């Protein structure tokens, strides 16, 4: 199962307002139907990947930016470019998922 680590927008992630993430494409590409392991410092939960689109960052829509927890396209592009040291012309995966954990609850990883 692919792992996705989150460091930003954690409150929105935990309460299901964030149901998407924009990431650089992986060496081993993700596929619709993959069961993602979502975590921050510890496991948050699991989420089936429901939609995957690959596009230049500059082509992100307002709906995609908002699903990712941003208010505007500009805020989304700015933060992603800052985090990845990239330009808006670079290609990213837009990964939509269906959170399967209870809202506002962090599931602990078994020790």
Domains observed in the chain: 3-97 (3.10.400.10)
* Residue 41, pLDDT score: 82
Q: Are 19 and 97 in contact (CB under 8 A)?
A: yes
Taking only the tens place, the pLDDT of each residue in 51-90 is: 999 999 999 999 999 999 999 999 999 999 999 999 999 9
Q: Does residue 106 register a pLDDT over 80?
A: no
Average model confidence (pLDDT) across the chain: 89
Residue whose C-alpha is closest to residue 92's, from 17, 30, 11: 30
Residue 109 has pLDDT above 70, yes or no: no
In Å, the largest CA–CA distance within the chain is 42
How many other CB atoms are found less than 10 A from the CB of residue 68? Answer: 23
Q: Is the pLDDT of residue 105 over 60?
A: no
């Amino acid at each position: 199962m692919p792992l996705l680590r989150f460091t930003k927008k954690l409150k929105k992630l935990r309460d299901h307002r964030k149901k998407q993430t924009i990431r650089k494409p992986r060496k081993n590409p993700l596929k619709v139907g993959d069961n993602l392991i979502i975590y921050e410092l510890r496991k948050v939960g699991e989420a089936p990947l429901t939609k995957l689109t690959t596009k230049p960052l500059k082509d992100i829509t307002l709906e995609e930016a908002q699903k990712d927890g941003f208010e505007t396209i500009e805020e989304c592009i700015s933060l992603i470019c800052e985090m990845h040291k990239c330009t808006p012309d670079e290609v990213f995966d837009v990964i939509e998922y269906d959170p399967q954990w209870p809202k506002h609850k962090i599931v602990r990883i078994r020790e």
